């Protein structure tokens, strides 16, 4: 895959300065007191977590800091906040971006002259809230050209813009106001780095099949970058926070992919994304096999994994139901095993976007009927039927990226899977999970559920054909103390590492 990076992407100097200062303050104040950030230091969850692990404490109000040092982040704060910090006897470290500082000065000066302050931006963004705090919160915030009608026509205006606003929006609002017969002081305060970042993202989006925009979900400038890219690629622009968020199932079909990143995105996040995408071979099909005992969470984890990666989840239960529905609709005698086997070998089942298709017809709802439920276990118990279904599952896996779970996926169904995972947990934890699922649906006890799981484990591990054992090359994950989200993230990390390893061979 050809991977291109926009000329201007990632950390701006203001954000970089704030992070560097935060690390300096943490190191310098190990003994002398806590270091606080008033709001997340930047809009990047991973960077904030790293800083907090070093000792930085994120607060939302100055009153949350009893003593120590308070860092004002690059977004800036209202004027009154400085007084609050001083009144509480806190040490101040100001990392407000110089461009934001300039806007604050402009607003303060014009407000003192009695001019009406107009701020082009997002009224809930901390930068805009901070700017408005330098004109006694009397500024009028607009974010769309049609909102110009809310601006009084007799006032002298001072117009500024949030540093991350698209330049086209600023121009559109200026065009709307230019026709007015009133004094307007215009200040294009959009950061040059923002303009460069948006322009190079725009240029790159016109040259590639898909764009990946890396940045925090709450980052205004990152979201604006995604909007710019969608102008060229409305269905081919993907906003991610980290490389494990990549929709690999979709991107794997692209010949070329572009990367850009918001001002709060560290260099490593860009490099990790680039390395993974460059390891992807266009057209290659991947399979993830998940095996394990009852109650290990296989199905839930497999479904979420498939959703994250944009792979097909091979729902084996749904496939057996589709076959049973097919048998019933062909008016086959349920005792005629030979006829059932013939139908199993002739049926055409396909899985697409959580839908089950039989001979091209969507049967997702039909296969949940009571009649199908009554007969599916008997059909699945026929050895030759299982062999036919395994062959069909293998054919689906050859044509698609898939995630599949069961008890012999890595050993029998997909022995050449790209990644094999054997998922387990203690008997006690598996029993607890299953009991939580069942307690409101049927009368049972924890001890009964535990006994059933132990019996199922014994049967799976000692059966003559295809006993439950980890594949030799499976990665074993004990999920006893892990959440579903943590297990899914762990498997995605393993899968991404496997892709990179294979590309080096």
> Which positions are catalytic?
127
Axis-axis angle for helices 383-399, 337-346 (nearest 10): 10
Cβ atoms 413, 289 nearer than 8 A = yes
Give the closest residue to 148 by CA, choosing from 172, 124, 125: 172
Name residues whose C-beta falls within 8 Å of residue 485's C-beta, 6 or more positions apart in sequence: 304
Cα 303 from Cα 236, distance rounded (Å) = 23
d(CA 268, CA 342): 56
Sign of the C-alpha dihedral, residues 340, 344, 347, 351? Answer: positive
* Separation of alpha carbons 218 and 249, rounded Å: 25
Distance CA 430, CA 300 (A): 13
* φ and ψ at residue 3, rounded to 5 degrees: -115, 125
Q: Which segments within 325-457 are labelled E, that is strand?
A: 349-352, 355-358, 361-362, 402-406, 419-424
Give the number of C-alpha atoms closer than 13 A to the C-alpha of residue 295, restricted to the C-beta side.
Answer: 25
**What tokens appear for 78 in the block?**
């209202």
Q: Cα-flanking dihedrals φ and ψ of residue 123, to 5°?
A: -65, -20
Q: How far apart are CA 21 and CA 266, in angstroms?
A: 15
Per DSSP, the three-state class of 2 is: strand
- Strands 355-358 and 361-362, how do they pair? antiparallel
Taking the C-alpha atoms of residue 99 and residue 42, their distance in angstroms, rounded to an integer, is 16
Is the separation of the CB atoms in 89 and 67 below 8 Å? yes
Q: Which of 25, 30, 32, 47 is nearest to 92 (CA)?
A: 25
Cα gap 431→447, rounded to integer Å: 8
Query: What token pair was written down for 392?
Result: 């069909």
Tokens of 314: 């091979």
């Amino acid at each position: 895959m050809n991977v291109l990076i926009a000329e201007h992407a990632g950390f701006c100097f203001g954000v970089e300065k704030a992070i560097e200062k935060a690390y300096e303050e943490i190191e310098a104040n190990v003994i002398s007191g806590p270091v606080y950030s008033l709001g997340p230091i930047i809009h990047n969850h991973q960077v904030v977590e790293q800083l907090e692990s070093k000792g930085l404490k994120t607060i939302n109000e100055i009153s949350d800091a009893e003593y120590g040092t308070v860092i004002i982040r690059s977004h800036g704060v209202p004027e009154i906040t400085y007084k609050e910090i001083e009144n509480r006897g806190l040490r101040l470290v100001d990392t407000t971006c110089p461009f934001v500082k300039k806007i604050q000065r402009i607003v303060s000066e014009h407000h003192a002259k009695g001019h009406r302050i107009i701020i082009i931006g997002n009224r809930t963004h901390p930068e805009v809230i901070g700017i408005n705090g330098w004109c006694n919160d009397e500024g009028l915030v607009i974010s769309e050209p049609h909102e110009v009608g809310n601006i009084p026509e007799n006032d002298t205006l001072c117009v500024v813009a949030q540093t991350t606003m698209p330049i086209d929006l600023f121009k559109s609002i200026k065009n709307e106001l230019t026709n007015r017969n009133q004094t307007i002081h215009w200040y294009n305060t959009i950061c040059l780095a923002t303009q460069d970042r948006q322009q190079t993202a725009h240029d790159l989006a016109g040259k590639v099949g898909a764009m990946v925009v890396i940045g925090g979900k709450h980052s205004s400038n990152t979201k604006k970058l995604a909007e710019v890219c969608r102008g060229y690629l409305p269905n081919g622009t993907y906003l991610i926070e980290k490389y494990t968020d990549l929709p690999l199932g979709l991107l794997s079909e692209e010949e070329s992919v572009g990367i850009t990143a918001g001002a709060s995105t560290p260099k490593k996040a860009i490099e990790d994304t680039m390395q993974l995408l460059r390891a992807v071979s266009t057209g290659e099909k991947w399979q993830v096999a998940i095996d394990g005992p009852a109650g290990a969470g296989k199905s839930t984890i497999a479904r979420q994994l498939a959703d994250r990666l944009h792979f097909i989840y091979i729902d084996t239960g749904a496939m057996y139901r589709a076959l049973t529905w097919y048998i019933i609709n062909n008016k086959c005698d349920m005792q005629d095993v030979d006829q059932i086997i013939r139908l199993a070998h002739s049926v055409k089942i396909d899985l697409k976007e959580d839908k089950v298709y039989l001979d091209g017809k969507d049967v997702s709802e039909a296969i949940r009927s009571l009649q199908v439920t009554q007969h599916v276990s008997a059909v699945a118990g026929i050895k030759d039927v299982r062999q036919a279904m395994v062959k069909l599952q293998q054919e689906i896996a050859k044509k698609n990226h898939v995630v599949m779970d069961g008890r012999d996926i890595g050993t029998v169904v997909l022995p050449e899977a790209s990644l094999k995972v054997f998922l387990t947990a203690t008997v006690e934890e598996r029993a607890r999970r299953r009991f939580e699922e069942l307690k409101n649906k049927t009368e049972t006890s924890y001890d009964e559920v535990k006994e059933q799981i132990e019996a199922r484990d014994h049967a799976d591990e000692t059966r003559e054909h295809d006993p439950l054992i980890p594949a030799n090359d499976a990665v074993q994950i004990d999920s006893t103390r892990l959440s579903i989200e943590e297990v899914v993230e762990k498997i995605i990390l393993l899968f991404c590492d496997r892709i990179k390893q294979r590309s080096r061979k």
